Structure 1
Amino acid sequence: MTTATIGLDKQTRDIIKATVPVLQEHGEKITKRFYQLMFENHPELKNIFNQTNQRKGDQSKALANTVYAAAANIDNLEAILPNVKLISHKHKSLNIKPEHYPIVGKYLLMGIKDVLGDAATDDIINAWEKAYGVIADVFISIEKDMYMETKNKPGGWVDFRNFKVTKKVVESDVITSFYLEPADGNPFPAYQAGQYVTVKAEIDGESHDHLRQYSLSCAPGEGVYRISVKREDAIGDNPAGVVSSFLHEKLEEGSILPISAPAGEFVLDLEDTRPLVLMSGGVGLTPMISMLETVIKEQPEREVIFIHAARSGRFHAMKDRVLEIADKYDNVTNYTIYDHPEDDEQCDKTGYIDAEWLETILPTNDAAFYFCGPKGFMRAAYQNLKKYHVSDADIHFEIFGPAEDITA
């Protein structure tokens, strides 16, 4: 990364740094315009980019923050390396290739020019063209290594591979699990608890395929991949989820589903032996279940506190399995929080998780904390842990979009 930075002359770096305030103000407008221009000229790329996130603006915001961070750290790109690796895992899962980068660069520069108008001088555009080339090379290099590592694993593959649905299990009113095994019957790699796969939904009547990422919800080494998918129903102006509806309604035992190899850096650290706190909200349960199933196999003596929040019992997936684990292992404690319990449903807390309640149930703040769920849940979880004086190094989460959505 340092070598790449040296490739930018001082004048170029100074121009990039001078554009930081402009990017802070107009970044999202620029990235929205970029996506609009790119999809108009390359509609085939809609196969890769989540169009729901496009409509919500999440993708534009995430890209704007990445561009802003690169500009702000142009003298020290090593500072953004963790974020680059996180994004590269997403890219690997989506099978982003080197040939995609020039296309993105072309329309990103056009977006800057369109939004800034005359303020985007030739010097500014030329500087950003150089900077984009350097940053793109960093991504391409990291992703090349990731693809190579994935391909060289026993049973590993690049691009998409057909898996067969061997079992379909309804877990709650809105969550269904799909058990997947390779359609070719050949070996397939293990993964780390917390990782995800990308599924390619080939839906009749749709103009393009749809890619979605789902956490693997069972422990590695069980001879199967399992994804547990929440059906996103239409609410107000938001339409029903195209892919989740397809999976729930059309995918049956025996169906074929193309998926990418497991990816992601939000993984359970099995070198840590301190107490483990797993917190989830709604379908954020899926990577937490994988971590729970893993820790009882790999660290059966480790203290585990498993906390799950759901609207009510009807929306609580895998409850019986967690209870079974908690009953079997004295070192595992399970807590359930229901927002609106129904018909005298039993739970440990009604409403929401708060810092005061956490202090009454947690043995220490010197522990490893992992959490996943909707953004609102994750924001509250982060703030509650900070009130509990948990070190940032012990707080683990993964989110699509800028971390500031959670930590601000």
Structure 2
Amino acid sequence: MSNSTACPAAGSDEKEKNALYRKITLRLIPFIFICYLFNYIDRVNVGFAKLQMLEALSFSETVYGLGAGIFFIGYVLCGVPSNLALTRFGPRRWIAVMMIAWGLFSTALLLVKSPGQFYALRLLTGAAEAGFFPGMVLYLSQWFPASRRGRIMALFMSAIPVSGLLGGPFSGWILNHFAAGQGGLAAWQWMFLIQGLPTVALGVLALFLLSDGFAKARWLNDTERSLLEADLREEAANKAEKVTDSFAAVFRNPTVWALGLVYFCIQSGVYAINFWLPSIIKSLGFTDALVIGWISAIPYLLAGLFMLLTGRSADLGNERRWHLVVPMWMGAAGLLIAVNFADNPIFAILGLSIATMGALTGLPMFWPLPTAFLSAGAAAGGLALINSMGQMAGFLSPYLVGWIKDTTGSTDAALYLLAGVIVSGSLLALAISRR
């Protein structure tokens, strides 16, 4: 008798939770997705600007690689303090400040005349963006329990492939449409202007559309807040291992550093693809900027679909380990295919597509690991530290590819090296997740 009455109650409770998280998802994710979309476009649009910018300013491949990568010096230096500032001033205000600042710096790239100016603005843009992604990971962990985080992170981070899917053709169109120069600006300058200013507007909107946690969200009722609080409290109590709330304990914990190293290996492949995909496609014999943009959209389209399917599979099966490692292996295998079939555009693009699917899917599949491991008090510093370690790849990877291309005339050796880095990271991920 008691069983027959308990089951409907449990089912009703689960329906209420599903309805609650669906409501939160629809309220938060679309706006956050758009913000991250422009975050990524502003970060990597120099890959398309490079097609015209280098010749116009007489920059070498090494200068470009250093400029593309120096962004991440500012990012790494400011990642932890920026995330701590987010917890001090609140997500709503700090996210708005970051977006307005990086939007202005990114737009100002249209004024660049020398390598020094290029380096300075990329450094400032990186510093302004530093707290956005780890802040969003922390923010989402305060709304969704670990059991639902695979799908949510996949939805949020699908902005990366969508930025490539939409940003590639859009950037190519801008470069073609403004090829003759209008208003005293070259096409690559128009690209920075058109893609940078919307971020400033989104930063202003963040002040009105985001809430500083579920306790202050006026669009939730008391019952919904209680359900959400109970879920998150239960997760905090059931964590297998906690880093204490001491910020110094984060830096002393070897698992935090190991996770940062895994993330570095994933990002090595991601940033090599993001910054060099247009140039690699151009080297296959395609010269029209719009055509390059449409071709570059293919890997990102496939990556977006694969990312969402993998995130759903990881949550439904409650499995994290292989949903992370297998995509990493795909990323390495795709780079090797692209290198070995460089004289066959179809197979080379297939390899780049597999590499993009694997590397980009590794990103959202990684983040449930540290968010399930770190306690609430340690999350701000821990997530920022792990993310900063990963973003170091954003400096080293593009610069390494540029230097190797200038030295050897080809990106082949760099892609071989990056494939090896990704495989090494996958083996470390296996060891961490096994424990």
**If the TM-score is normalised by the length of the shorter chain, which range does it land in?**
under 0.3
TM-score (norm 1): 0.25
TM-score (norm 2): 0.24
User: Which structure's residues are more often strand, by fraction?
Assistant: 1
Higher relative contact order (CA 8 A, sep 6+): 2
